[in-house]
Amino acid sequence: MKMPALVALSLVVTSAACKSDNGPKEGASPKAEATSEGASNPASEAENAKAATSLNAAAPKEGANAGAPGAPPAPPSIPAPEDVAAPPTDAEKTASGLASKVLKAGSEQGHPAASDTVVVHYTGWTTDGKMFDSSRLRGEPARFPLGRVIAGWTEGLQLMTKGESRRLWIPEALAYKGMPGRPQGMLVFDVELIDIIAPPPAPPDVAKAPKKAKKSKSGLAYLQLEPGKGTEHPKPESVVSVHYTGWTTDGKAFDSSITRGQPARFPLNRVIPGWTEGLQLMVAGEKARFWIPEELAYKGQPGAPQGTLVFDVELLEIMAPPPGPPPGHPSVPGNHAH
């Protein structure tokens, strides 16, 4: 199972969730652990493993043997634009230092918000003209939450409209900030914005649980939206498949499997306590809303959603936990949620 790109919280192990969730994120789905901020390509995590492989295959390699008799052919690469070294004088510049230039006008009005999920094709180069990543060479667009990528992408794509192609010159302060193992310095991206997917709107009672909601001793509030089928409830060790959307109490969406286009699947004992408790109240097919107090959510973790969190959850399937290690076989370190 692949962890969702989302947030740290990634409530889920987003399976191959976003066909193309590769990229720099900042955490907030119901995973108990928080994720790091960057990735070498602007998409979601679900694709990071896949992207890492294609990156290694696609990125230009240094070495004197390229082109030598009998040497293997050079890996595929997309040539850098002529202005890769620095933005031209006609590029637009923002107060943050981001520079951009429209390559092809969009077909529609309206810009994505940071809470939206975007579908894009892109290629990235360092300013010496070396390509380090390309969705085009992978043969499929990338999909990722716009608020979970490097700052230059979050800002730059909000300047775009659907159908537009734009070149971005992203200064290091808005990219990977010198993180080891990431592309260094200013980065240049050619981006085509293919689609914008808005998260579901916040419910009218997002600010506070209504009186009709049930409350547990822990402080969790729960409201059934649609009944399920059957009587079986998941256990803490069960693996569940769900669709969900999460909001802060001011109505801002921070994560949604709906916009990623694929349910999330994860062991119930590997997520925030409010999820572990709340989903055990549900049966397959049920839809419910949870108001999860901060002490059952991210407990003020930097980079994770703060305060009480509200989730709409549809429990699609309950599965048995994967088999454990054979007797006497130590479990793998790091497999347990913190």
Residue 92's CB is within 10 A of a number of other CB atoms, namely 12
| Catalytic entry in 116, 144, 170, 176 | 176
Catalytic residue flag (residue 150):
yes
Annotation says 122 is catalytic: yes
Q: How far apart are CA 80 and CA 186, in angstroms?
A: 14
Active site residue 21: no
Which among 116, 132, 190, 222 is annotated as catalytic?
Answer: 132
Reply yes or no on whether 176 is catalytic.
Answer: yes
What span, in angstroms and rounded, lies between the C-alpha atoms of 142 and 157? 13
Q: Which of 21, 144, 170, 189 is catalytic?
A: 189
Q: Which of 21, 122, 244, 255 is catalytic?
A: 122
Identify the CA nearest to 257 among candidates 319, 200, 195: 200
221 close to 290: Cβ distance less than 8 angstroms: yes
* Known catalytic residue at 254: no
Structural contact between residues 226 and 287, judged by C-beta atoms closer than 8 angstroms:
yes
Let me know if 132 is a catalytic residue.
yes
Catalytic residue among 21, 116, 144, 150: 150
Catalytic choice (21, 116, 133, 255): 133
Catalytic residues: 122, 132-133, 150, 176, 189
